[in-house]
Amino acid sequence: MAERELSEGGAARIKVATESVKCAGCGANMVFDADLQVLYCPHCGSKKELEVGQTAKEKDILEGLSADAFWKADETVVFRCDNCGAKIVLNKGETATVCPFCGTAHVEKTEELAGLKPDAVLPFAFGQDKALDYSKNWAKKRFFAPRKFKRNLDAENINGVYAPCFTFDSSTYSTYRGRIGKHYTTTVGSGKNQRTVTRTEWKNISGNYSDFFDDIVITAGDKCGQKELDNISPFDTNAGIEYKEQYLLGFMAYHYDHELSECWDSAKKKMDELIRKRILGKYNYDVVDYLNVSTTHEKVKYKYVMIPVYVGNFTFKEKLYNFFVNGTTGKTFGKYPKSPLKVGGLILLGAIAFAVIAYFLSKG
Ligand SMILES: [Zn+2]
Ligand SMILES: [Zn+2]
């Protein structure tokens, strides 16, 4: 098996050994090179064009899951990290040797099936070297980060992992009823008692509201959660193409933690919030007494998409930090260690500033 670490040039050095697609020239195993968007042989440097992907189709949520919605046992293999619990899906025949989330080698093959098969994939748009550059640039701008974090980040810490997401489309029809208020000031009393007071003019509102939502993205994994995902968004999920094994060669995929129905509930919550905001946006108000909205969803479509995320892991003073790089735009977000010296310094500065101000106030 060819270790990805041997790869040169733009190919990511991800610790996945693959034997799925053999090089026609030398028989070694090929990997997906995200910089060149080809299959690449790390052994002899041969390249092979990717198969052209079709635009991914969306599915009707009312249709049940058919047998072909699931991975077959001979397609993939699931690894589990004993240290942090992360579950990784790889093409059959590939081996994960390191956990992308905690960086340890405690990854073991399981007998588990991988579950739902992705309908679509948004392929990685660049390789690991570039992901490292984005991470370093991001780290450099973290004022409180210790020098060790800024300087010691390297390819070891960055791994390409497809994050499992569901996208939902929905046509919504809502009826609403509520009461909103607008503040105004008025003068009351007379003579010495004359003063200005603020009062509220209340108004009942009701009506219908319809909208269309396209590709509401809900993450199905906890290790790269909704907050992390929202912070490195957008991902052009509409450009997702039909899933093919070739995009996973040498990369990993995270096994989902939440089922379709659970994610659909989350999507409805997200849409409900947007609908409320958009209804209220039609009015001029200062306060909302109440707003009851009842919404029905029609023509709901979904797709299960793998989106490309470089996962960074960094251990500092025995604590683990994860950060995430959007594999199409480079946008980075996540946790990082904070230097006690820098934080302490700032608190000290604040205390000095406070003392100085207090001193002058006491004299004045
Ligand atoms: Zn070769
Ligand atoms: Zn782990």
Section 240-254 average pLDDT: 90
Ligand index nearest the alpha carbon of residue 6: 1
**Residue 282 CA, ligand 1 centroid: distance in Å:** 62
- pLDDT, tens digit (0-9, with 9 covering 90-100), for 112-168: 888 899 999 999 999 999 999 999 999 999 988 999 888 989 988 899 999 999 999
pLDDT for 245 equals 87
Overall residue count recorded for the chain in this entry = 364
**Residue 50 CA, ligand 1 centroid: distance in Å:** 16
Cβ partners under 8 Å of residue 159, min gap 6: 14, 15, 98, 100, 128, 252, 310, 311, 313
Distance CA 103, CA 318 (A): 12
Structural contact between residues 230 and 278, judged by C-beta atoms closer than 8 angstroms: no
Ligand index nearest the alpha carbon of residue 39: 1
**Residue 105 CA, ligand 2 centroid: distance in Å:** 8
**Residue 77 CA, ligand 2 centroid: distance in Å:** 17
**Residue 6 CA, ligand 1 centroid: distance in Å:** 12
Section 290-302 average pLDDT: 96
pLDDT for 114 equals 85
Cβ partners under 8 Å of residue 15, min gap 6: 3, 4, 5, 96, 97, 98, 159
- Read off the pTM: 0.81
Q: What percent of the chain has pLDDT over 90?
A: 59
* pLDDT level of residue 356 (50, 70, 90 thresholds): confident
β-bridge mates for residue 78, sequence order: 89
**Residue 17 CA, ligand 2 centroid: distance in Å:** 18
Distance CA 255, CA 134 (A): 25
Ligand index nearest the alpha carbon of residue 98: 2
φ and ψ at residue 227, rounded to 5 degrees: -65, -45
